Structure 1
Amino acid sequence: MLTFLGFLMIFIFMILIMNKKLTPLTALVLVPVLIAIVAGFGPDLGKMMKEGVKEIALTGVMLIFAILYFSLMIDTGLFEPLVNAILKAVGDNPVKTTIGTAILTTLVSLDGDGSSTYIIVVAAMLPLYKRQGMNPLVLTCIIMLAGGIMNILPWGGPTARVMSSLKLGHTEIFVPMIPVMLIGLAWVFLVAYILGVKERKRINKHGKYTRYNPQDIIGEADPALRRPKLIIINLLLTIVLLSVMILDIIPLGIAFMIAFCIASVINYPKLKDQQKIISKHAGNALSVAGMIFGAGIFTGILNGTGIMQAMGNSIINIIPQSWGGYLNIITAVFSVPLTFFLTNDAYYFGILPVITATGHQLGISPDVLGRASLVGQASHLLSPLVPSTYLLVSLAGVEFSDHLKFTLKWAIGSSIVMLLGALILHII
C-alpha cells in the first residue's frame, strides 16, 4: 500500500508540474500532504514536515546567500573578463558555445558543489546564449549532464555515501569508475555538439530565441553597481570562499552568509547601496528557497511515512530469483529510477545495503554493486528532489517542467552509455 501511495504521489506531482497546473513549490507541499492525509498519517504530518525542513534548512540558507553573493559579484563585474574571454574564443558560433559550456561545467564541477557550479557557469554562459539567440534550455541541459557525471567525484556526495554505507575506500569504489566517467563525459561533449548544430540550424531558419525571462537573476548588471577597481579583491574573496567550501572548514551556508556580508561592505559602503543589492535579488533568492523548503516537506513526508523505504524494497522484491546472477546489471539499471525518485541518502543508506546483502548470498562483491549503484547519478541531478535543480532553472530563467522534458532523454542516454562502458570494461 505504501509503495502504491509513493508512486501515486510522484506520478501526480510530475503530471501537475509538467503540464504546468501547479508551480513546483505548490506541488511539492500540497501533493504529499494530501496523500499522507488520505493514508491516515494526518496526526503525524506536523512532525514529519518539521523534520524534513530541518534536514534541508542549511541547504536552503546556503542557496539564499549563494544567490545573493554571486549576484553581487555579477553586479560588480567580476565575471566580465571570463565572459569576454569565452566570447572571444567561441565567437558567434553556437556549436563552440555549447562545447564551451560542457568544458567549463566539467572544470568548475571539480569543486564537487553543484550549486556553485550552476551559479558560476550560468553567470559566464547565459550572456553568450542571449547574444547569440540560443535557447537557454540547451544551457541547462548541458550543465546538468556534465554535472551529473562529475557528481560521482568522492567529494561530490553519492560516492562518499557508497563508501560509508559499504565501509569501502575510494580505491575500490571511485578509482575504477574514472574510465566510466570519461566515457560519460565523451557522451556529454557529443550531446553538446549535437545540440549546438541543432541550435545553429534553428537560428538560421527561424531566427534568434528571444523569450528570456526578464526576472532571471543572471541578467544585465546595473553599470552604477560595477566595481572594476575592486576586481582583484573580489576575486581573492571568492577564491577564499571556494577554498573554505572545498576544505569544509565551516558549513557552506554560513560561509556564504559571511562572504556576502563582507562583500557588501567592501563594494558598497553606503547603506542605501547595500539595501539596493538585497532588494534587487531578494525575490529570486526567496523563490529558490521556497522550492527548497517545499522539497524538504516532500522528502520529510516520504521518509516519515515509510513510503520511500517501501518503494525501494518493493522494486528490489520484483526481481525474480533466477535473475540473481545479473544483480550487478539490475542494480545499475534500477539505480536510474531509484536515484531519480528517492534521495541519495534513502537510496545509498537504505536500499543499497539490502542489495549488497543479497549480492553476498549470490557471490557478488559489494564493491561491484557499489559501483553499479553510481550509474544512475548521470540522471539524478534532474530529479525534482534535488534542491540545486531549482537553483539552475531559476538562474537560467526557464521552467522546471520545460527543463525536465528537454533534458530527460539526454540524461537517460548518459546512464545507458555509462552502463555499457562499465560492462565492456568489466567495472561492474
Structure 2
Amino acid sequence: MDISGIMGFALMICMTLLVYKIKVSLGILFMTLPVIAGFLSGFSMAEMSLYILKGIENVIPVALMFATAILFFGILNETGTFTAIITKIAGRFHLTRKNIFLMTVFVSAIAHLSGSGAVSYLIVITTCKSIYNENKIPLTNLMCLSSLTFGVMNMLPWAGPCGRLAGVLNTDPVSIWRLCIPSQIFGILMVCVIACILSNYQKLSDIDSLSENNCKQCIARNKPTLIQQSRKKRCLSVGIMTIIIILLIITRISSWIVFMMGLSVISIINLKEVKKMELMKYIKSAGTMAGTVLASGVMVGVLTQSSMLTSMSEMISGLLPVSMREHIHILLGALANPISWIMSGEVEIFGFMPIAAKIASECQIAVEVTAAAFLIPYSAVIFVLPMTVSVHLGLSLCGVSLREHIRQTYLWTLFLSITMLGFAIIIGILPY
C-alpha cells in the first residue's frame, strides 16, 4: 500500500468535507490541498514544480475555451438574441395545456445554449412565468421542466462539467461531447415525454379560449430590457452562433480557437452595441471560471503526473473483481446521479474520474468514453442539487421551495439518467 495512494484518498475526503462544511473557494482548494498531499507523500519541491507546471499546461486550452465561450454567449445574451428566438418560438404555440409544457422544454433548450444556469433561468422564467400564472399552472412545473432540460443541455462542452472532465483527463471537451450528442437528443425527447405526462395531470382554467396573441402579450410583459439591435444584425448573430456550434461538431479545430473567432466576429458586428453593454459581469464570470480551471491544473498535475493516481488506481483495482474492471465506466455512470447527493461534482470529476479512466484504459477503453459514461447520467441531476448555485436563483424567481422542487423533479432525473445511459449503451456509444 503506497503512501501516495493513501494521501490521494485523504485529499478526496478533505476536499469533500471542506466543500460541504466550510464552503471554501474551489480555486483555493485546488491550489493548496494537492500541494500538501504531495509533500506528505514525499515528493520533492522540484518534482512538485514539474507536476504543477505540466498540469496547468494541460488545462490552459479548457480555461481559454470557458473564457471565450462566456464572453461570446454574453454578447449574444445582451443583444437579446436568445430572448428574440425564444419569444418567436413561444409566440407560435397555440395555448393548450400540453403545448405550454412543450413550449417550456423548447425555450429552455434554446436558452441553455449559453451554458449558464443563471442566464438560462432568467431568460426562461421571465419569459414563461406570466403564462403559467395567468393560467393558474403551479410554477413547480416550470421549475421542473426547465431544470430537466437545462440538465440534458448541460452536456455542452462550455457548460461546465464537460470542460472540467476534459481538463482532468487531458482531452478535448468537444471529443467528449460528440459521444454525448445522441443521448442529449434522446434526453430532450424524453423531457418532452415527461412534459406530456405532467400535462395530463394539470388542470387549466379556460385555457383553450386563449389565443396566440395572449401568449405574445404575456411574454412581452416579462421581457427583459436589452440592447436594441436591428433585425439584420440579430439574424447575423443567430447565423454566427449556428456556424460556431456546427464547427465544434464537425471539425477538429480546438474549441477555444472556434470561440475566439466567433467572439471576434460577433464583437465586430455588434461594435456599437458592445459599448452600451454591461459586460463586466461576463468578464468577471469568465475570469473566475478560467482562474478556477487553471487552479485545478495544480490538482490535475499532482494527481496525474506523480505516482499518486497509479497508486490510487491499483488500490481500487485490488478491491474490484477482475470481471468488473472493464465495466467500471458503466458502474460509475450508474452511480453518478445518486452519489451526487453525498459528494460534490468537483470531487467526483477531479477525484474519482481519473481513477476510473486509468482502470478503464487498462481495458482498452478510451478516456473520452469513460468521461461520456459519467457525464450523460450526471447531467440530468445537476439542476436539482442544492450545491448548484443557479438553482436557488430559479427557485427565487419562481417562488418555489427547494423541497418542493426536489419532490417534483428528482425522480424524473433518475428516469433521465437511466434512459440516457441505457440508450448510449444500446446504440453502441458506450461499450459494455
Normalised to the residue count of structure 1, the TM-score between the two structures is 0.62
Measure, in 1, the Cα distance between the counterparts of 2:381 and 2:53: 22
Structure 1: segments with no counterpart, 5+ residues: 166-173, 201-218, 357-365
- The 1:42–1:331 alpha-carbon spacing in structure 2 relative to 1, beyond 3 Å, is same
Q: Which one-letter code corresponds to 1:85 in the other structure?
A: K
1:329-361 deviation per Cα after TM superposition (whole angstroms, max 9, x unaligned): 6652245569973569946863223235xxxxx
Measure, in 1, the Cα distance between the counterparts of 2:184 and 2:266: 37
Does 2:265 match 1:266? no
Measure, in 2, the Cα distance between the counterparts of 1:196 and 1:35: 52
2:152 to 146, 168, 171: 146
1:4 to 3, 6, 19: 6
Q: CA RMSD in A?
A: 5.4
Measure, in 2, the Cα distance between the counterparts of 1:421 and 1:267: 41
- The 1:53–1:130 alpha-carbon spacing in structure 2 relative to 1, beyond 3 Å, is farther
- The 1:420–1:243 alpha-carbon spacing in structure 2 relative to 1, beyond 3 Å, is closer
Does 2:39 match 1:37? yes
Instruction: Please tell me whether the aligned partners of residues 381 and 414 of structure 2 are also in contact (alpha carbons under 8 angstroms).
Output: no
- The 1:254–1:223 alpha-carbon spacing in structure 2 relative to 1, beyond 3 Å, is same
Q: Which one-letter code corresponds to 1:128 in the other structure?
A: T
Instruction: Please tell me whether the aligned partners of residues 329 and 370 of structure 2 are also in contact (alpha carbons under 8 angstroms).
Output: yes
- The 1:355–1:242 alpha-carbon spacing in structure 2 relative to 1, beyond 3 Å, is closer
> Which residue of 1 is the match for residue 58 of structure 2?
55
1:239 to 239, 242, 248: 242
Instruction: Please tell me whether the aligned partners of residues 115 and 154 of structure 2 are also in contact (alpha carbons under 8 angstroms).
Output: no
Instruction: Please tell me whether the aligned partners of residues 330 and 373 of structure 2 are also in contact (alpha carbons under 8 angstroms).
Output: yes
Instruction: Please tell me whether the aligned partners of residues 264 and 274 of structure 1 are also in contact (alpha carbons under 8 angstroms).
Output: no
1:164-223 deviation per Cα after TM superposition (whole angstroms, max 9, x unaligned): x9xxxxxxxx89x97x888766665566678999999xxxxxxxxxxxxxxxxxx98654
Structure 2: segments with no counterpart, 5+ residues: 134-138, 172-178, 204-221, 338-344, 396-401
Q: Which one-letter code corresponds to 1:83 in the other structure?
A: I
Instruction: Please tell me whether the aligned partners of residues 378 and 415 of structure 1 are also in contact (alpha carbons under 8 angstroms).
Output: yes
* Deviation of 1:303 (Å): 0.7
Instruction: Please tell me whether the aligned partners of residues 140 and 396 of structure 1 are also in contact (alpha carbons under 8 angstroms).
Output: no
Instruction: Please tell me whether the aligned partners of residues 127 and 223 of structure 2 are also in contact (alpha carbons under 8 angstroms).
Output: no
SS at match of 2:14: helix
* Deviation of 1:84 (Å): 0.7
> Which residue of 2 is the match for residue 64 of structure 1?
67
> Which residue of 2 is the match for residue 171 of structure 1?
none
> Which residue of 2 is the match for residue 203 of structure 1?
none
Q: Which one-letter code corresponds to 1:75 in the other structure?
A: E
Map 1:221-300 to 2 at 5 A. 223-224=226-227, 226-248=229-251, 250-269=253-272, 273-274=274-275, 278-300=279-301
Does 2:25 match 1:23? yes
Measure, in 2, the Cα distance between the counterparts of 1:137 and 1:306: 45
1:294-332 deviation per Cα after TM superposition (whole angstroms, max 9, x unaligned): 2222222221233333333332321245xx3x6666652
2:377 to 373, 376, 379: 379
Instruction: Please tell me whether the aligned partners of residues 352 and 373 of structure 1 are also in contact (alpha carbons under 8 angstroms).
Output: no
* Deviation of 1:21 (Å): 2.1
Measure, in 2, the Cα distance between the counterparts of 1:196 and 1:91: 15
* Deviation of 1:35 (Å): 2.1
- Give % identity: 17
Measure, in 2, the Cα distance between the counterparts of 1:87 and 1:7: 49
Instruction: Please tell me whether the aligned partners of residues 148 and 378 of structure 1 are also in contact (alpha carbons under 8 angstroms).
Output: no
Aligned residues: 364
Does 2:49 match 1:80? no
Measure, in 1, the Cα distance between the counterparts of 2:394 and 2:289: 13
